[in-house]
Amino acid sequence: MSPDAQGRPRIVLGVSGGIAAYKACELLRRFTEGGASVRVVPTASALNFVGAATWAALSGNPVSTSVWDDVHEVPHVRIGQQADLVVVAPATADLLAKAATGQADDLLTGTLLTARCPVLFAPAMHTEMWEHPATVENVATLRRRGVIVLDPASGRLTGADTGPGRLPEPEQIYAAALRLLERGVSGGGADLAGRRVVISAGGTREPLDPVRFLGNRSTGLQGYALAETALARGAEVVLVSANVELADPAGAKIVRVGSAEELRVAVFDAAADADVVVMAAAVADFRPARVVDAKIKKSDHDPEPLALVRNADVLAELCAARPRTGQIIIGFAAETGDASGSVLDHGRAKLERKRCDLLVVNDVGADESGRSKAFGSPDNAAVILGADGSETPVPRGPKSALSDVIWDLALERLA
């Protein structure tokens, strides 16, 4: 990165002419409060929605749309050359078309051509415009070049219209931007560009009655970190989310499920054309043999023993089926050591049974304070076992760091 004189990362916030331009004010606030130096570069039409004075006041930097202002500083070249990250939010269909075809008729499009840092587009437009073949092709072109183009959210659009095309929420765009800054990926270095990945996250719940269920402690943090990292590296992401209470990663397709069987169906459906499938969700091994229609009442008598039946082994079935030739399948093993073996002993045995390409082995026992070392923690440590006999230890650190190692190993095997 090339920080400014105060050591702050330099971010260019491009704003094109859509009604969602007002949301970029919140994104700008997050960037500046996060310690970045931000130069806002709007298009002329964007100033019909939010004026230059607002951008200048919020960013503390001058604002212009023209290449003819401060010509001696050659702004259409210098701004892009000096940036650590360029984010365009909202990115209209017109702006995406200009970027895809290399047009440079104003300061923002000129900046995009000279930027050699990560570039992130957050589209916003009506559904018909987003789904038009021209926009689809422009987005595909940009992604092939290593540019990160988030999928828009679905929801209320201008007027009474609803559908795909809504600008992702500022906090989601901000999270995606931070991942790009952390990686420092060059404009052409999104190494998962063109890859489609499926990730399961969270923990399944097996109903006992209308109010009770059998569940587990998984929060989905690791699976969501994997999704955010894959998006930052250019992948198309399908996230099968089981009972997770986290903000959706901007740009991911979210499929919500509850039980193990629902997760199984969703994963197999999404895996049909996936390059990589990562089973990070904690899937229940058992479910109640009988689900009661009414709430089970407490009585003076001891409850009847709970009869359980085995759920399908989704990871083993997936590995046996291999929905796509050359597909890489990655499993997770949440283990604790016991009298029969260590955490790694159990992990190696599971890798042999499941027949996946990689198995991420977590020690989920309690730490000194009695809390789980993995579930609900922002940090994680693991040993990644390979079907080729490799073992890759990953020391405790942010779950995003473990995610990057997992994707690195997946890419090696895809190659």
Phi-psi region of 370 (alpha: psi -120 to 50; beta: other; left: phi over 0): left
Per the CB < 8 A criterion, the answer to whether 121 and 91 are in contact is yes
CA distances 192 to 144, 210, 304, 411, Å, are 10, 42, 52, 8
Distance of CA 92 to the CA centre of its chain: 22
Q: Name all domains of the chain by residue range, CATH numbers in brackets.
A: 10-183 (3.40.50.1950), 196-414 (3.40.50.10300)
- Mark whether 61 is an active-site residue: no
Q: Where are the alpha helices (DSSP H) in 235-342?
A: 260-271, 314-321
For residue 371, the model assigns a pLDDT of 58
Q: Which residue in 226, 282, 280, 215 sits closest to 249, CA to CA?
A: 226
For residue 114, the model assigns a pLDDT of 93
CB atoms within 10 A of CB 201: 29
- Identify the DSSP state of 220: S
Question: For residue range 196-242, what is the model confidence (pLDDT) as tens digits?
Answer: 999 999 999 999 999 999 998 899 999 999 999 999 888 999 999 99
For residue 1, the model assigns a pLDDT of 38
For residue 336, the model assigns a pLDDT of 81
For residue 370, the model assigns a pLDDT of 53
Upper half-sphere CA count for residue 278 (Cβ side, 13 Å): 27
Rounded Cα gap, residues 383 and 251, in angstroms: 29
Can you point out the beta strands (E) in 146-260? 148-149, 153-156, 162-166, 196-202, 206-207, 213-214, 236-242, 253-257
For residue 270, the model assigns a pLDDT of 97
Q: Which residues of the chain have pLDDT under 50?
A: 1, 186-188
Rounded Cα gap, residues 393 and 415, in angstroms: 22
For residue 247, the model assigns a pLDDT of 87
Helix, strand or coil, per DSSP, at residue 267: helix
Torsion, CA 139, CA 145, CA 147, CA 153, rounded to 10: 20
The active-site residue, picked from 48, 138, 216, 362, is 216
Compute φ and ψ for 166, nearest 5 degrees.
Answer: -75, 140
